[in-house]
Amino acid sequence: MSDQATITNRKDGSVFAQAADDSILRAALRAGVGLAYECNSGGCGGCKFELLEGEIDTLWPDAPGLTERDRRRGRHLACQCRACGPITIAAPTAAEYVPLLAPRRQSAQLAMLRDITHDIREFRFVSDGPADFLPGQYAMLELPGVTGSRAYSMANTPNEQREWHFQVRRVPHGQGSHVLFDGLAVGDRIGLDGPYGMAWLRTASPRDIVCVAGGSGLAPMLSIARGAVEAGLLGKRTLHFFYGARTPRDVCGGDLLAKLGAGERIRFIPVVSLPGDDGAWRGATGYVHDQLLPQLPERLADYEFYFAGPPPMTSALQELLMVGHQVPFEQIHFDRFF
Ligand code: FES
């Protein structure tokens, strides 16, 4: 196999090169071709394509992003395939997927870590090249001893110090979080590839902002809030920040938001699904998506929505906003991870 393979997409006539160790999806995005995608991790199925000519390697044959029907029909995932030579594919593209910042691979060094909650830790890396990304985006981390790469969202905003802050939840049996929590020390280096993702802050929107985070979905929503403050969006607008947690000790983010100095322009609304029997929790209870209607003063269709969290939460929000309240799709921003 040569170092570069040429890929032709018959759907839009684009032609781009793929390095031997890249995926078809990432090669397309690096070349400025807007191949449709969301998770970059084999889970969402958003990057399906058909192979018309040539040979490919499949990196994760059992990836859940493909159904049995997809497999029978000969569909593949662009984020989980590599071309072995020149190939021709049929893959959906759209202008909205053309990256505003082309993703690039670089090396990064762990510079600092701190605990956010009992099971979420922030890892700060300094990259060799620039920390160029849009608030709300994610990067793919190549961690020692872990096959493939893992997607983690940045919690900070682009900066000249070349810093990338990731807030990661310790996941039992999660290879990526195990290496981050137990295998890396300050000074160690990893591979970092990004930015990726479509759920970035739309600074041109005139609407009030709603962020909904669950679990370690906190990171990209914090990045959105920080970006909104830095861009001066909260002079007249309000940002409503919902955080859904299992128990009161899982609640986080309020202190970090308070430090942004936006005062009442940021409302923090924590929601706990298991408040316990001791009566200590005085805040909202239940599912976080059920709190949007009682807590938001305007019609849901009047807001710009960003959300990140577990799949049941993002599905419930999609249903509530799009089906229940006809919020236009262009006002809803999220990347699905599984
Ligand atoms: Fe490829 Fe989600 S499965 S982008």
CA-proximal residue: ligand 1, atom 3 (nearest):
42
CATH number of 208-333: 3.40.50.80
Say what percent of the chain tops pLDDT 90.
93
Phi-psi region of 41 (alpha: psi -120 to 50; beta: other; left: phi over 0): alpha
Average pLDDT over residues 38-65: 95
Tell me the CATH number of domain 104-196, given options 3.40.50.410, 3.40.50.10210, 1.10.8.350, 2.40.30.10.
Answer: 2.40.30.10
What H or E segment, with its residue span, contains residue 219? Answer: helix 218-230
The model's pLDDT over 278-292, given as tens digits with 9 standing for 90+, comes to: 989 999 999 999 999
| pLDDT confidence of residue 93 | 97
* Residue 66 Cβ < 6 Å to ligand 1: no
| Shortest-distance atom of ligand 1 to CA 78 | 1
The model's pLDDT over 236-262, given as tens digits with 9 standing for 90+, comes to: 899 999 999 999 999 999 999 999 999
* Residue 77 Cβ < 6 Å to ligand 1: yes
Examine the predicted complex and report whether its ipTM is higher than 0.90.
yes
Average pLDDT over residues 283-306: 97
pLDDT at 1 over 50: no
CA 170 – ligand 1 centroid, Å? 23
* Residue 335 Cβ < 6 Å to ligand 1: no
How far is Cα 52 from Cα 2, in angstroms, rounded to an integer? Answer: 20
The model's pLDDT over 155-202, given as tens digits with 9 standing for 90+, comes to: 999 999 999 999 999 988 889 999 999 999 999 999 999 999 999 999
Boundaries of every domain in the chain: 4-97, 104-196, 208-333
CA 226 – ligand 1 centroid, Å? 27
CATH number of 4-97: 3.10.20.30
CA distance from start to end of the chain: 32
* Residue 79 Cβ < 6 Å to ligand 1: yes
Closest CA to 284 of 240, 237, 331: 240
* Residue 39 Cβ < 6 Å to ligand 1: yes
| pLDDT confidence of residue 57 | 96
The model's pLDDT over 146-160, given as tens digits with 9 standing for 90+, comes to: 988 999 999 999 999
CA distance readout (Å), 270 to 203, 281, 295: 25, 11, 11
| Shortest-distance atom of ligand 1 to CA 37 | 4
| Shortest-distance atom of ligand 1 to CA 45 | 3
Q: Are the C-beta atoms of 128 and 107 separated by less than 8 Å?
A: yes
125, two tokens: 């890396």
CA atoms lying within 13 Å on the CB side of residue 219: 22
Interacting residues of 228 by C-beta distance below 8 A, sequence separation 6+: 135, 201, 203, 209, 234, 237, 239
| Shortest-distance atom of ligand 1 to CA 77 | 1
pLDDT at 129 over 70: yes
CA 55 – ligand 1 centroid, Å? 20
* Residue 103 Cβ < 6 Å to ligand 1: no
Closest CA to 73 of 51, 40, 96, 95: 51
| Shortest-distance atom of ligand 1 to CA 48 | 1
